[in-house]
A and B are shown apart, each in its own frame.
Chain A
Amino acid sequence: MKFIELKNVNKTYSTGVTALADLSVEIDKGEFVFVIGHTASGKSTFIKMLYREEKPTKGSVIVGGINVAKLRNRKVYKLRRKIGVVFQDFKLLPKLTVYENVAFALECLGTSAKDIRPKVMKAIEIVGLKEKIRSFPHQLSGGEQQRVCIARAIVNEPKLLICDEPTGNLDPETSKDIMKVIDNINKDLKTTVIMATHDKEIVNRMKKRVLLIEHGVLTGDYLKGSYKSHEGV
């Protein structure tokens, strides 16, 4: 069985806007997949569906064996514990240090204090922020803040890392570094990575599988390295 399986997924919002139409796709465990498309193409809806921020109107979405479409509100946390999410705007807590921000994720889950420390330290080491564990978010650069966000997303060792435009607010050099971190997580920890992005540069350079969504329809599924930006977006 595939790790992620979307079958004939439709999503129409209450406003009548159709965000996704008859979308079917399968993703294997450990894959690195880019999701690209113009603004309002439906890629954000696609991404949000994977962590059940949105529910499909029709069709099935299965992530790690959980049918997201049928998941009740009060059971959503079970899915989220298997997933790490990284955002464009970082979503860090300003009054907590780097260490506390990462530890927060584990504290919420009721992890014991003695287990929290080694896990947090490991995650911070992976993203290369060991020197800054006592800094507050406002003392960090954009790239560093994104690293904290990634550390928080992976501290619980999720099977799936979802990145929603993680480099959208960063300069090209910093973006490169962040992509290196995410790529290493995919390679070393065997974490499946799905990333929505606008950044053609990154997509071209990384040579990964690419899903192209246009007007809510999956118009292209390019295998590793076969996508070139001039073919579409």
Chain B
Amino acid sequence: MKVFRIIGRSFRDAFKSVFRNFSLSMASILCTTITLLTVAISLVVAYNIQDITNSLEKELTIVVYLEKNATNEDAEFIKSSIEAMDNVEKAVYKSKDEWKNEMSEYDSSYQSLFDSYDENPLLDSFVVYVKDVKSLDTITNNIKALDKIESASYGKDAVNTMLSVFDFIDKVTVVIVISLIFVTAFLITNTIKLTIYSRRNEIEIMRLVGSSNIAIKMPFVIEGFVIGFLGSIIPVIITIYGYIILFEKLNGHVLVELITLISPYNFIFYIALIIMGLGALIGMLGSLLAVRKYLKI
């Protein structure tokens, strides 16, 4: 029972302190708000980039053309050789006739072009799906080394540029998020430091009458929690409504059909939860730091 009373008292003190030092608390809450909003935007961008990268990566394949004189047995052997390679998901055979039909369906002018030949001028091929896009280059080279291979390619430059751009954006986002988290923790630490300073007499008396260290520290940690939590409310609202509106305005696509946004439901609430948790956690950690540093007990 005593523990509950002390916890209850800590909550009461924490809220009292937030409102008693209102301007100071407000400054911390606003800083947390701005930080968390940036973190939220960064998270939404990062998740979307990851999602886009993942879906684009699924589209990335190696197209392997077999030499004209390659037999069915050769094709069988090549298929099993490719599928035995590391990081290869599957190799799908596509005969020259399939290509011909597909191209003719796509554009009828191809049909007349094909008609001018005695036989199908195209080559039999494999479309190779990989598990990890980073191994595209190695796999392509390994395939080229096989017998009866006319060519193997995956659009190297375009893919590499795209991957490095995504990688860069990913890293920048992580750096921004981490530095903002540190800034927020620092600001909250400072707020709690000032609260501790303004309550030093109270703390001294608490120590003298025999309050346990935990009972003395708890109100400050809860105060940090409250500041972090209050600071997360506006970012959460902006993120949820902002993303839903943006998604509907853009019809779920950015620039081209290929780049689709993650559907807002569930996803955005998940982000909101992360932001709230992060706010509360940073608040608590910031005040724990202050308590450890400035509360000499």
Contacts and interface: CB of A to CB of B under 8 A. Distances in A.
B6 A105 contact: no
Interface in B206-235: 206-213, 215
Contacts of B297: 73
A78 interface: yes
13 contacts: A51-B208, A77-B213, A81-B209, A81-B210, A83-B210, A109-B209, A110-B1, A110-B9, A110-B215, A112-B5, A152-B205, A152-B209, A156-B209
A110 B4 CA distance: 8
Contacts of B206: 108
Interface in B1-31: 1-3, 5-6, 9
Nearest to A85: B208
Most buried by B among A76, A79, A110: A110
A74 B210 contact: no
B98 interface: no
Contact of B9 (A73, A83, A105, A107): A107
Interface residues of A, number: 24
A82 B9 CA distance: 22
B228 to A, nearest CB: 25
B116 interface: no
B176 to A, nearest CB: 39
Interface string A57-77: 000000000000000011011
A105 B209 contact: yes
Contacts, number: 59
B201 interface: yes
B215 A108 contact: yes
A136 interface: no
Give the size category of B's interface with A. 20 to 34
Q: Which 10 A-B pairs have the closest CB atoms?
A: A81-B210, A80-B210, A110-B2, A105-B209, A108-B211, A110-B5, A110-B6, A77-B210, A77-B212, A108-B206
A82 B210 CA distance: 8
Nearest to B209: A105
Nearest to B5: A110
A108 B209 CA distance: 8
A99 B211 CA distance: 19
A155 to B, nearest CB: 9
A233 interface: no
Nearest to B204: A91
Contacts of B147: none
A104 interface: yes
A179 interface: no
Contacts of A73: 213, 297
Interface string A188-214: 000000000000000000000000000
B295 to A, nearest CB: 12
Contacts of B9: 107, 110
B15 to A, nearest CB: 16
A93 interface: yes
Nearest to B7: A110
Most buried by B among A74, A108, A109, A112: A108
Interface in B132-171: none
Contacts of B1: 110, 112
Contacts of A104: 205, 209
B7 to A, nearest CB: 9
Nearest to B212: A77
